[in-house]
Every structure is written in C-alpha cells, then in structure tokens.
A and B are shown apart, each in its own frame.
Chain A
Amino acid sequence: MTGNESTGHRRGMGLVPLFNLVMLVALFAALAWGYLAPVSGSSGLAHRVDAALVESGVESRVTAVLLNYRAYDTLLECFVLFLGVVAVWSLRPFRYDRHDPSPGLILSSLVRLLVPLMVLVGGYLLWAGSNQAGGAFQAGAILGGAGVLLLLTSSPLLSALPRGLLSCGICLGPVFFLMMGLAAMVLGRDFMEYRGEAAALAIVALEVVTALSIGLCLAALFGGRRPEAGQEGAGKAVPSQDGGEGR
C-alpha cells in the first residue's frame, strides 16, 4: 500500500522534471538556432556611436551611450532602483533576530579597513568611466557593497547619521537626473540635450550624484525595511548611509 503510493508519487514527480528538461532543451535549441543563423548586412550602431563621440563630451563609448545618447533609458533605470526601494519599504517589516549581535574584533577591524578602500575604488571607477570601462553604476555597486558591509557589522557610523538623509539620498539620483534634463530645456535645448564642453561637465556631475544614490539604494535594498519600522532594532537594521557619504 505504502509502496504503491510512494511509487505512484515518485512517478508523478518524475514526469515534471522530465517535462522541464524537454522544454529547456527545446528552448536552448531554439535560441541556438536563432543565434547561429547567419545575419546579413547589419553592423549595429558602433560607427554612429563613434561618429558622434566628439559631440558627446566623453571618450568612452559606453558612458556616451549610457549618459548621453540614451540618457533617457538611464533616467528610467534610476527610477527602477528608486521604485525598488519604495516597493520594499511598502511591505510590512519582516522581523528576524540576528544570531550574532556583535560582529567580533576581526570582522569590524576588517570592515574599518575595507570601507575607505572601497570608497576609493568607487571613486576611481567613476573617474575611469570617462575614457574606459567604469562609470556610475559600477561605482554605485562598489559603494553599495561598502554599505552592505557596514550594515552587516552594524557599524556605529550608521546610527550616528540623521535618518531624514536616507530618503533624500535615495531620491537624489532621479531628482538630479530630471533637473539636469530640464535645465537643458530651460537653456533652449531639448530635454537632456548635452553637447561638447558643457556635456562633459554635466556627465561628470550626473555620474557622481547617481553613483552615490545608486550605492545608497543598493544598501537600502539590502537593509530591507523602512527606517521607522525598525525603531526597536535601533540602528542595526537601518541602512542609514553607505560608505560614500559615511565619511
């Protein structure tokens, strides 16, 4: 009886992975078929990107695409991050107890060493973005990582910072992006139209501000709950600041 049931159960369970496997193989076969098929006469947009690089104000193609040619996409991506934080904060706080209230000497000393270095690396990546790989998102990811480390070790740095700053910092990226775009309109150009010398300045400013805001958003997402919901947890679960502004 039990044996029968369990074999029936096993048979039923066996069909689902088999079906999934067949579907996966079919999907990969289809993707390979589409990917390997020869394509005629399309060269992408690389030559157009290069031709307009002089006007764009930066030397790196990637940065030019992200912050000038397709800055509108990047603006919306900043809103995606902001939206992520708003959505996570809108959920009811999830309560859990941390197993290790004190991070220990080694971890906290390591973090104290690492965080300034990470801020330095973030700053370097930001700077490097103007002529090679790097830029706001990469720098923001490093800063976010520094914020995560601070959160994990419940650094006293976090509880020392004013809470109102957090909401403002999260909005900062999208707000600044919008304001720069509108400023171009006020100056008689199109929305988000940056050219030449002015473009170089505008892009550097955009990168710095968005990198800070991205780092803060990522750390806030890791923190997981809205600040006022974690009153009883003191500063522990409150992602107040990332390493970028935490100095």
Chain B
Amino acid sequence: MMGLQLQSDCWLIWPVILPLSAALVAFLAKGQPRLSGLTGALLTALASGTLFLKVVNHGGGSYDLGGWQPPLGISLRGDGPAVLMVLMTAVTGLAISVYAGGYFQSRIAMGGKGRRHIVQERFFWPLWLLLWGALNGLFLSADIFNMYVTLELVALSSVGLTALSGKPASQVAAMRYLLASLLGSLSFLLGVAFLYKTHGSLDLATIQAALALSPPVALAMALISVGLMLKCALFPFHFWLAPAHANALAPVSAILSGLVIKGGWYLFFRFWQGFLPLVGDGVVVVLAGLGGAAIIWGAFQAFCQQRLKMLVAYSTVAQIGYLFIIFPLLAIGAGQGAAAVFYFAISHSCAKAALFLAAGSIFLQMGHDRINNLDGVRQILPITTFAFALAGLSLMGLPPTGGFIAKYMYLSLAVSQDSWWLVLVMVVGSCLTAIYICRAVSHVLSPRMVAGRSQVVVGASMEWSALALALVAILLGFIAPLPLGLFEVVG
C-alpha cells in the first residue's frame, strides 16, 4: 500500500529535477544552448502538466525525499494551490521560452556588437532553467529550511538574469536587487531559526498545527513577513523592482514580473495561513493597507512613466498590492478568499508576462520604447499589438478575462464583509489601471504612421507566444470553475 502511494507520488520530483538537469546540459552544450534549453523547457512543462493531471484525477500527495519522513527528512507536498502554481509556471514559462528562442535568434541575426548576444543566450538558458526548477521546488516544498534554499536559488538566478543585458542601468539595478533580496533571505532565515527553536521541527504543517503566540513566534512572524515582502516588493519595499524589471532583456522582464514575484508571495501566503488565527485585526489591516497603498502608488507611478517597459514594471508594483489586500478577507471566508487570490495570481502571471513580451517585441522593432513615439506600431506588428491590448484588458479586469473573475470575487467578498474601503481601493485602482493601459494602447493602436525600421525584425515565434499568453489570460475567464475546484485538494 505504502509502496504504491510512493510510486504514484514520485511525479512530484520531476518538475524540480528536470529543469535543474536541463540547466546543466544547457551549460555544458556550449554550441547549442537554444536547442537544449528549449528541449528542457518542453520536458519541464510536460512533467508539470503530468503532475497537474495526476493531482486533478487522483488527489494531492506528498513525497518523502530519501524515504525519511518529516520532521527528520524533507518532503514535497503536492496540494491544489501548489500544483496550480507549478502549472502556471509551466504555461507562462513555456511561452517565455519559445519567445526567448526567437528573441535571441533575431538579436543574433541583427548583428551588433561582436558576440555579445551569443554569450547572452549561452548564459540565459542555464540561468532560466535553474530559476524554473527552483520555483517549482519552492512551490512544492513542505519544509521551511528547504524553502529558504529554493528562495536563494530563485534570488541568485533572478539577479544573474537581470544583469544579463550588460547595460549599466541593468547592472546597477541588479546590484540593488541582489542586496534587497539577500537582506530578505537573511531575515527569512532568522525567522526560520526562531520557528525551529520553538517547535523543534522544520515541517511547515507540523509547525502550523502547534503554532501559539509567544515572543519568538511573534518575532519569527515579523522577520519572515518582512523578508518576503522585500522579495516581492510590497509597497514600501518596491524601490528595487521597476529598474530591475524594466532594464532586463525582454524574456527576462516577463520571467521576473510574471513568475519570480509570485514565489515570494506564495511563501508569504503559506506562512500566513498559519499566522492569521494568531494575530489581531490590526496587523491584517496593516497588511491590507500596504497592499492598498501599493495599488494606488504603483498605478500613479505607472501613469507618470515615459517608457513602455517602465510603465509595465510599475504596473507590477500596483498589482502586487492585490495579492496582499486579500488578507482581511481571508480571515473569515478562508476558502473563497484563497481561491480569489490564487486566481488573481495566475491570471496576472499570464497577462503581465504577455505585456512584457509584447513590450519587448515593440522595443526590439522600434529601437526604443518611448510611449509618445510609438504611434502606429500596429501596422508593423499587428499580432504583438493585439496581444498587448488583450493582456491589458485582463489587467484592467474587464469581462470576460481572468482578471475580471478574480476582481469580481474580491469585490463580492469585500462587499459581503462590509469592507468598503477595500472596495473603494479596488475600484480606484482598476480605474487607474484602465487609464495607464489606455494611454499606452492609444499610442500603439494609433493609425498614424511613424518612421522606424522598415524591415520587420521580430520573429513569428515572438509575436505568437505573446499572443498565446494573452489568450490564456482571456481564456481563464471562461474556465474559472476548473481551477477553482482545485483549492479543495489537500496534500
């Protein structure tokens, strides 16, 4: 019986092991990084999809690594939210990988300074596959020290990817990102140490079952929360995000904004599931207040930007707010609130990645991304422009997109609990989103023609992968019951 159980659950390790192995292969295959990278991405996506189907059909499971049961060993836990995040990473990651293949092909074909793009591509694939494996490990981990290790892998590979473009701006941004991220990791690790000291275990479920408020636990809570807020750039800690995300290479921007941010937030959410019953309303309102401030401030900043990629990056600052204003709503209607916020995370991941990919194509074609000079891009890049507009719709939360479903669930929860200030924040935030998206879209859709490169340098795979992601963000509005049912699945 036990053997059968373990056999079926060994699916849990492949989404972690495969991308890590592929990263090694991509690093060693110096001549063919694209081929090995794309193969690795495809295999990883397949393994993630298989895991998802297993969990949908047979329910969640867990896998004790090395056959040692927690608390002595480490186990992987595949429950509904975890596999949904793995699937989200697989869908977004696969599209980004296809885009990256085309992107580097175009860049190398365009020539330019020496072998720079060849070297960039050679290191892009190992770093990105390591990041992918680390993210999957983070989502599936059930052990708080192991979460720290995966968080470190995620942070270091993200910093490496950020610096890859080689521009001074991106290197400065990468350095800041590194320092902020390391500080966050250290804070998280201190929190983990305090939790181990009080509970004598590193298994999150064991700890959460025995959690009681005491000085070390309160301190651990504060340290872990602040560390993770730094990593996902919640409002007062958002200083590092925009330059890092906006100055990176196009596929890297999509990876950072669409996926990496969700890693830190996911851990925050997992920990706070246990912390919520311990804390008073005041703390939760502070969290939601920071989220609300992020929504307003990020949207305002996005509106003020002159560059398209900066606009999209500040929009991420704003959207992170939505991931945090859910906490007061979680305290009462737990199941529904969790479903809403995960739905938001997933649809944001697809929409934001699509926006960044489209913005990257526009940048590559035009040679700049000054919003005011982007008139008439649609004549040159019709598919990309369409993808940009569609993803923008999902971000605004217009029906029938995934963003709409998520925001609708948020609003109905907030109304049912009489949290009118949250309703107000969300409505204002959505209006601001609509304003800054429309500002960008009105330029790229404008019928006026501008002088630019006469030759189209953006490859078909770049255009279609961005569109595919935007379509997934729309499609999420139609298949809402399917993922929402998954939140009941426990590990």
Interface, chain A (partner B; CB < 8 A): 30-31, 33-35, 37, 39, 42-45, 48-49, 52, 68-73, 76-77, 79-80, 82-84, 86-87, 89-92, 167-168, 171, 174-175, 178, 181-182, 185, 189-195
Contact = CB atoms under 8 A, between A and B. Distances in A.
Contacts, number: 144
Of the four ranges (under 10, 10 to 19, 20 to 34, 35 or more), the interface on chain B belongs to 35 or more
Contact of A174 (B20, B64, B199): B20
B66 A45 contact: no
A82 B27 CA distance: 10
Most-contacted residue by chain B among A73, A89, A182 (CB, 10 A) = A73
Nearest to A71: B66
B403 to A, nearest CB: 34
Given A76-B153, A87-B157, A39 B198 contact: yes
Given A73-B149, A191-B13, 15 more contacts: A30-B219, A42-B198, A43-B200, A49-B72, A52-B72, A69-B66, A70-B146, A72-B66, A73-B146, A76-B150, A79-B133, A83-B130, A174-B24, A190-B64, A191-B10
A88 to B, nearest CB: 8
B149 A77 contact: yes
B398 interface: no
Interface stretch (B210-218, B298-306, B471-479): B210-218
A34 B220 contact: yes
Interface string B116-156: 00011001001100100110010000000110011011001
A192 B159 CA distance: 30
B31 interface: no
Contacts of B74: 70, 72-73
Report whether over half of chain A's contact residues are helix, strand or loop; otherwise say mixed.
Answer: helix
A16 B75 CA distance: 45
Contacts of A77: 149
A69 B200 contact: no
A193 B157 contact: no
Contact of A68 (B64, B66, B157): B66
Given A34-B218, A80-B152, A48 B72 contact: yes
A48 B69 CA distance: 11
Given A76-B137, A175-B24, A52 B149 contact: no
B197 interface: yes
A77 B156 CA distance: 12
Contact of A42 (B72, B130, B197): B197
B68 A69 contact: yes
B17 interface: yes
Contacts of B137: 76
Contacts of A76: 134, 137, 146, 149-150, 153
Contacts of A175: 24
A237 B219 CA distance: 46
A238 B171 CA distance: 23
B153 A72 contact: no
